[in-house]
Structure 1
Amino acid sequence: MWVCCKKKRVCAGRQGSFLDSFKLANSTKLPTLRTPSTYRHHEHLAEKFGELPDEVMVELQNMLRIYNIDAEELFFKWEEYCLKMGEDIKLNLKNITAFKDDARDQFEIEMRVKSKSAQAPAARGPQRTAKNAGDVFNMLDGLTPATPRSSGPSAAKRKFEKAGYETPLAERTSKLAVGSSPVGPGPGFRTPGAVASIPFHSRPDPGKVMEVYNPSIEIPQLPLPDYPGYQSRVQFAALINPHKFQYKPMYQKLTMGSQVLDDRIEEYAAAIQDEHNIPNDLFCNPCSKLPEEVVVVGRIATDVMDSQKRSNEASLLLEASRGGGNGGRVRLDLSALKGYAFYPGMSVAFKAINPTGDKLIVKSVLDPPTYYGAGSKPEEMEEELRKLAAGNFNVFIAAGPYTTDDNLDFEGLTELVDKIVATEPDVVFLSGPFIDTEHPKVKLGDFPVDMNNFSGYVLEDLFKEKITSQLNRITKSMVLLVPSTRDAVSKHVSFPQDRFQRKLLGLQANVQLLTNPCMIALNEIQFGISSADILFHLNMQEVKATGKGIETNTFHRLASYVISSSHFYPLFPAPEASQVGYTTPIDLQWMRLCDFPRNIKPDVLILPSKLPGTVKVVNGVVTINPGFMSTTRASGTYAFMTIEPPTKILEEENVVPPPDPDFTLKHRIYNRARVEIRRI
């Protein structure tokens, strides 16, 4: 307890000599009672977190001082922690203590990465000795002989002969990961993801329905009576050309990438002109002096350089196309808007003025172009009705990861396949990652390899053992596999991404391999799907101010960005690994492959995300986030959808005399589908 009296401070209850007390009392480094600062921290934390118990508030204030951050950034870190845990977490002392431990682990990882990248070559000190001179710190896992180091071809041959074709043992890899090296992390270090997971058999509320869309539609008894299998009920058609995805990755030209970005602005300007009937003379260069209100078109950019900080209103810029403004950028003034929502890479059209040429004062935002939904001819709808004579069209939807970070047992996937085999749906959507490159055991190679069935490809053999073996149990359903850029077995490392290799993974004929992203038609119903977590990435980069005309539901707002842009990944640039925990490698010159075909909205849009699973109708599109099958430490969710045959549509649209040959009927899946988000 510190007692202050004029210029002297005496430490009450401190043991020691008077000289020690005098030194402490006059030290400039002595911590003092910063009452105004404490109150200021308390107010900022209460503004972000709400009123909290005193012990929780003290812990949060300590984190502000330790990491030298403000309350807003701490609140963002708390949101990321809640998303990572995959569950609703209360702000109590127990959870805040776990949050502090997690933040400390992440901070240690970042510091080690920075120190390694900034470390300069230093003079070597005296060499430590070890029992095995051939492998000083046992880093080669016993692959070298316990003899003095030798050189030459014979020595290399002996090492090669001694080393077996085997995966390093789990205890050895774990030892390396936890700091057996003298320059590695200390004994208190925990491997990322090494959080105690909830055992699958102890998971909370298995089978619980978390959310229902269109509960008035009844779920048919599954399997359907006399179900013949998917072959006679499902007609598959790809609406994109999958061969275009076989491009050469990591061969990106800057000129081609910049041209793609420029074309998107020009195409958006043309669409805005058609949508709002704007004459050419009203379009102006946003970077020039504009004393009168005109229309400007460009792409939202940001000048925030630190990847640890989020974009804000003051950091937003408008980048013009080369034809409409020489590719210049101008800062935005949004004070005249009652509400707004933007993200980097967003194509926008403003009514604005620029009196000085330095700042664009935005007066209003023009609505984006309207894109139409898919339709089919009456005879095609009648064919759909005949195919579904046995009952509703049933779909399962799930997204990886499929196992928690402490094991590679894939218990959630096994449980899901059990349900699929028992209910026999028509179609199953499964999106990656399957063998996740971010999984701790995959990173370390901490899994056994069956040498009796070794094909020469370790990770592909793991896929066949854990994934293919389960998929082969599904015989009466069509299985659609969508890869992820985090899939260790994918030959294509960038987004947009090519399909899996069927032969290498041993997949059977009822498995259809899709690109990432992809638009397909199952009978007359059009599905769009992408495994890139665009919803979470947009949520991290979005800059918004609630007000008139701004959607308050986060999922609805984020999904509308994708649909209104007619693009599966409208964000640019993609977030860095320090923001979302992994890298999304975007091949910019091929991003045209992410456009919706013919700018037609799909009937169903599947966007798996780290955000909680949900389903909503957005701009007439049934948009589904099934959630992840597994979080880092617990089981997750999946989606089930049942779609009624188009009986009512054909009855309502029975036109006499017959319509013209180009007449189409809207599918109206939002009226015919019931969707449930379920816990596995």
Structure 2
Amino acid sequence: MDTDKHLIEQFGPEAKEPIVLDALKNLSNVHALPPDELFIKWEQFSYQRHEQHTTLNSENVEAFKEFLQVQIEKKAAQTSQTTNLGSNKKKVRNVKNLGSSPSVFGFSLPNTPSLKKRKLNANHLLSSANGGGSKLAFETGDLTTDINNSETEMMYTPSMDSKFGTSTMPSTADSALNTPSNNCVSGKVLDSLNPENIEIAEGMEFDTEEKISVLPYYEPKKYRFRTMRQNLVESADYLDDQIESFVPIVQEHYQLSKDDFGDPTIQSQSEIYAVGRIVPDSPTTEGFLNPESLALETSRISGIGRRISLNLTEVNDFSLFCGQIVALKGKNVSGDYFLVTEILSLPYPNSPVSTTEDIQKLYNGKTDRTSKIIVTSGPYTPATSFDLTYLAEFVDKVNTSIKPHAIVMFGPFIDVTNPLIASGNLPNFPNVKVQPKTLDEVFSKVIAPILSQINSKIQVVLIPSTRDALTKHAAYPQDSFNRNILQLPKNFKCFANPATFQINESFFGCSNVDVFKDMKEVTKGGTITLRNRFDRISEHVLNQRRFYPVFPGGIKKKLISSSDSKDKKIYEHLSGADLEVAYLGLTEFVSSFTPDVMIIPSELQQFARVIQNVIVINPGVFVKATGVRGSYAQLSILPANIDDGKLTKVESPDGEVYLHNVWKRARVDLITI
């Protein structure tokens, strides 16, 4: 009966139909998937069919069954390829088109535009139809099982003869490009945001004095702390302050008094309001939550830091995850649990604004300056070779055809989890007189010469990853690269991770930790579960006011051996969020306002969406582990013209200011490299 109840909670009232319920139970048992994971697979199934909501009936459940079987066969095929390293035939994974994402933000503004699909020609559609299935964005589940595949385990010592140090063995990328049905042709537009309203920017004219402003909007000195020196008291203080910081926000937004708040861990017959952190009441080895195993952790002021189990039976809709700060209404009648009657929505932060003088100063009276910005995310080499051909081609394309005003490049540039790097099987580089002795020298002698060919008038921003071998600061939040050590020219700017910076008047918030893969939600109710998962996670990031609200952070590990006991397995840590808890305040939104554009790279499917009037972008990886071409994001942002009505005037204590409304003025294209 518990399984029936959980399935109905996850899939909604349609699952009460006996035939449908029996079929779902059977699938749950056959595939060893709990109801919440089975529902994530159902979301993948709907997403593949390009449907916001797939009707839950016997016919669609049968199609869902076939969908799960296909996934199993694909994973089995990938496993067989891993064991046969001599075979060069890899299954090319096609990228599916994306969905839409309407939302509304304060200030009584109109609904945001939906993500409209770019119409591809008949040849592209035919190629996509014949190209086979793809590994969908939400096929994550347990990170342990997802990482234990050919992308992480393929190791060999290549013989090199290319100027970029590539293997003499034909690369996966080459074979993929020669496949007629390949869906990763260079320059193909995979999806677009606002394609009908805004044209693609022409780009920069290098023979003019045209230049855009790129300025950091954070304090770099605060990121220069020593890692691996965590103090338990300092970490506990931050986690406590994190809860307490939301109390005045909730109190002001809902016009509550201090007397309305109480200690949820104390038995009482009266309803109270409580603010705390969502935690599991009994953590499991997998780290998954379910509605019956949630607890609320209080601050030292509100509840002496104690935890109380939550009873959510009276709440119809919710989406919760570990580390989430929530405001609850309810009572603790028995002393054993807190009966929640309402989960209060946290208010979203304000949007950034600019004065008339600020905007005029940036544009110097010019109203036709459309900015073109490129966003890429590493790794920049496949897992099976140190092939930099794609990067060299991309740099050439940047200088000759794309001509952006700015490029934002996320690491890793040299990925410590790459099997070749981890095993020390780096190639010889023919064009390098003195072979590099360290990974820093690999960058400065091999990668830096390629990046340095980017036109000096293009502003380039580098943001590190915790997987980067180039940084000694391998924890999140993370200090920036040292441009001088990397031997890069002056048009390169090195920012921290996360970082907030301005490009002209627009605020960009960037974080290089995969929150979309690490956040495991517990959901209930039709209005919540029918929404796209990317939308839900993006909204969580915004109303939690920090780029990575998950706690504890996600971990990627690989199974290395099993003991005689079936329940005990030994894993190797590959990478993860690796949080510096005492310094997580640096991951919060600067000045408590949302950025105009939020960029969070993820291993999952690339997307661009408008969430609460914020453009949220995942550019996708530059090169996939198998060597298949990845993707990048291209933004075309119209100038902030006060007279064209695209900026919203807002009264403030400092006088008239304007919301930037970048979501109205920007077009985003997701393109294969």
* Matching residue of 1:525: 506
Matched, 1:201 2:177: yes
Please give the per-residue CA displacement for 1:10-40, whole angstroms capped at 9, x wherever unaligned: xxxxxxxxxxxxxxxxxxxxxxxxxxxxx99
Q: Identify which of 409, 424, 444 aligns with 1:430.
A: 409
Asked if the contact 1:551–1:557 (Cα under 8 Å) also holds between the matched residues in 2, the reply is no
Letter in 2 for 1:462: V
Aligned-partner Cα distance in 2 for 1:576–1:303 = 20
User: Taking structure 1 as reference, are residues 47 and 552 closer, same or farther at Cα in structure 2, changes over 3 Å only?
Assistant: farther
Aligned-partner Cα distance in 2 for 1:387–1:414 = 37
* Matching residue of 2:110: none
User: Taking structure 1 as reference, are residues 101 and 549 closer, same or farther at Cα in structure 2, changes over 3 Å only?
Assistant: closer
Matched, 1:462 2:455: no
**Secondary structure of the corresponding residue to residue 656 of structure 2:** coil
Deviation at 1:411, TM superposition (A): 3.2
C-alpha RMSD of the superposition: 3.6
Matched, 1:216 2:216: no
Equivalences for residues 44-83 of structure 1 within 5 A: 44=24, 47=27, 61=30, 69-70=32-33
Matched, 1:646 2:640: yes
Asked if the contact 1:556–1:618 (Cα under 8 Å) also holds between the matched residues in 2, the reply is yes
Equivalences for residues 599-638 of structure 1 within 5 A: 599-633=592-626, 634-638=628-632
* Matching residue of 1:310: 288
Deviation at 1:418, TM superposition (A): 2.4
Letter in 2 for 1:192: T
Deviation at 1:340, TM superposition (A): 0.6
User: Taking structure 1 as reference, are residues 433 and 654 closer, same or farther at Cα in structure 2, changes over 3 Å only?
Assistant: closer
User: Taking structure 1 as reference, are residues 72 and 412 closer, same or farther at Cα in structure 2, changes over 3 Å only?
Assistant: farther
Asked if the contact 1:378–1:650 (Cα under 8 Å) also holds between the matched residues in 2, the reply is no
Aligned-partner Cα distance in 2 for 1:341–1:675 = 28
Deviation at 1:357, TM superposition (A): 1.2
Q: Identify which of 513, 532, 541 aligns with 1:562.
A: 541
Asked if the contact 1:239–1:519 (Cα under 8 Å) also holds between the matched residues in 2, the reply is yes
* Matching residue of 2:165: none
User: Taking structure 1 as reference, are residues 528 and 352 closer, same or farther at Cα in structure 2, changes over 3 Å only?
Assistant: same
Aligned-partner Cα distance in 1 for 2:44–2:576 = 18
Q: How many residues align?
A: 535
* Matching residue of 2:353: 375
**Secondary structure of the corresponding residue to residue 543 of structure 2:** helix
* Matching residue of 1:412: 390
Deviation at 1:329, TM superposition (A): 0.3
Aligned-partner Cα distance in 2 for 1:70–1:42 = 15
Asked if the contact 2:429–2:435 (Cα under 8 Å) also holds between the matched residues in 1, the reply is no
> Aligned residues: percent identity?
27
Aligned-partner Cα distance in 2 for 1:103–1:42 = 31
Deviation at 1:542, TM superposition (A): 1.3
Deviation at 1:470, TM superposition (A): 1.9
Matched, 1:96 2:72: yes
Asked if the contact 2:251–2:257 (Cα under 8 Å) also holds between the matched residues in 1, the reply is yes
Asked if the contact 1:428–1:480 (Cα under 8 Å) also holds between the matched residues in 2, the reply is yes
Aligned-partner Cα distance in 1 for 2:195–2:27 = 38
Please give the per-residue CA displacement for 1:191-244, whole angstroms capped at 9, x wherever unaligned: 934299443634524222222111123435634457626xx4212221110111
Aligned-partner Cα distance in 2 for 1:549–1:104 = 38
Asked if the contact 1:500–1:513 (Cα under 8 Å) also holds between the matched residues in 2, the reply is yes
- Return 71-80 or 509-518, whichever deviates more: 71-80
Deviation at 1:650, TM superposition (A): 6.0
- Return 330-339 or 209-218, whichever deviates more: 209-218
Deviation at 1:307, TM superposition (A): 3.3
Please give the per-residue CA displacement for 1:336-386, whole angstroms capped at 9, x wherever unaligned: 111110111111001111111111111111121231111111012123333
Aligned-partner Cα distance in 2 for 1:79–1:654 = 40
Letter in 1 for 2:75: F
Q: Identify which of 304, 315, 321 aligns with 1:343.
A: 321
Aligned-partner Cα distance in 2 for 1:425–1:662 = 35
* Matching residue of 1:185: none
* Matching residue of 1:537: 518
Aligned-partner Cα distance in 2 for 1:652–1:443 = 51
**Secondary structure of the corresponding residue to residue 217 of structure 1:** coil
Asked if the contact 1:225–1:390 (Cα under 8 Å) also holds between the matched residues in 2, the reply is no
Q: Identify which of 664, 667, 671 aligns with 2:664.
A: 671
* Matching residue of 1:140: none
Aligned-partner Cα distance in 2 for 1:387–1:610 = 41
Matched, 1:501 2:482: yes
Aligned-partner Cα distance in 2 for 1:273–1:327 = 20
* Matching residue of 2:159: none
Please give the per-residue CA displacement for 1:114-154, whole angstroms capped at 9, x wherever unaligned: xxxxxxxxxxxxxxxxxxxxxxxxxxxxxxxxxxxxxxxxx
Aligned-partner Cα distance in 2 for 1:221–1:668 = 18
Aligned-partner Cα distance in 2 for 1:214–1:379 = 28
User: Taking structure 1 as reference, are residues 76 and 474 closer, same or farther at Cα in structure 2, changes over 3 Å only?
Assistant: farther
Aligned-partner Cα distance in 1 for 2:617–2:648 = 31
**Secondary structure of the corresponding residue to residue 291 of structure 1:** coil
Aligned-partner Cα distance in 2 for 1:260–1:591 = 8
- Return 203-212 or 608-617, whichever deviates more: 203-212
Please give the per-residue CA displacement for 1:292-316, whole angstroms capped at 9, x wherever unaligned: 2211110001145333352111221
Aligned-partner Cα distance in 1 for 2:624–2:23 = 34
User: Taking structure 1 as reference, are residues 545 and 568 closer, same or farther at Cα in structure 2, changes over 3 Å only?
Assistant: same
Matched, 1:265 2:243: yes
Matched, 1:479 2:457: no
Asked if the contact 2:545–2:592 (Cα under 8 Å) also holds between the matched residues in 1, the reply is yes
User: Taking structure 1 as reference, are residues 465 and 347 closer, same or farther at Cα in structure 2, changes over 3 Å only?
Assistant: same
Q: Which has the larger radius of gyration?
A: 1
Please give the per-residue CA displacement for 1:59-106, whole angstroms capped at 9, x wherever unaligned: x95xx6xxxx55669869989999xxxxxx984877634413657999
- Return 461-470 or 608-617, whichever deviates more: 461-470
Q: Identify which of 586, 598, 617 aligns with 2:579.
A: 586
Q: Identify which of 588, 597, 602 aligns with 2:590.
A: 597
Q: Identify which of 338, 344, 359 aligns with 1:366.
A: 344
Deviation at 1:578, TM superposition (A): 3.8
Gaps of 5+ in 1: 1-38, 49-59, 83-88, 108-188
Aligned-partner Cα distance in 2 for 1:502–1:79 = 46
TM-score (norm 1): 0.72
Aligned-partner Cα distance in 2 for 1:504–1:428 = 20
Letter in 1 for 2:640: P
4+ residue segments displaced more than 6 Å: 39-42, 76-82, 103-107, 652-655
* Matching residue of 2:161: none
Aligned-partner Cα distance in 1 for 2:549–2:277 = 11
* Matching residue of 1:192: 152
Aligned-partner Cα distance in 2 for 1:220–1:40 = 47
* Matching residue of 1:489: 470
User: Taking structure 1 as reference, are residues 221 and 328 closer, same or farther at Cα in structure 2, changes over 3 Å only?
Assistant: closer
Letter in 2 for 1:609: S
**Secondary structure of the corresponding residue to residue 479 of structure 1:** strand
Matched, 1:298 2:273: no
TM-score (norm 2): 0.72
Deviation at 1:320, TM superposition (A): 0.4
Deviation at 1:551, TM superposition (A): 6.7
Letter in 2 for 1:432: G
Letter in 2 for 1:664: V
Aligned-partner Cα distance in 1 for 2:646–2:663 = 16
**Secondary structure of the corresponding residue to residue 577 of structure 1:** strand
Asked if the contact 1:381–1:650 (Cα under 8 Å) also holds between the matched residues in 2, the reply is no
Deviation at 1:660, TM superposition (A): 7.9
Aligned-partner Cα distance in 1 for 2:236–2:665 = 42
**Secondary structure of the corresponding residue to residue 391 of structure 2:** helix
User: Taking structure 1 as reference, are residues 73 and 228 closer, same or farther at Cα in structure 2, changes over 3 Å only?
Assistant: same
* Matching residue of 1:575: 554
Aligned-partner Cα distance in 2 for 1:457–1:478 = 30
Deviation at 1:404, TM superposition (A): 2.0
Deviation at 1:507, TM superposition (A): 0.9
User: Taking structure 1 as reference, are residues 672 and 390 closer, same or farther at Cα in structure 2, changes over 3 Å only?
Assistant: closer
Aligned-partner Cα distance in 2 for 1:572–1:674 = 34
Letter in 2 for 1:592: G
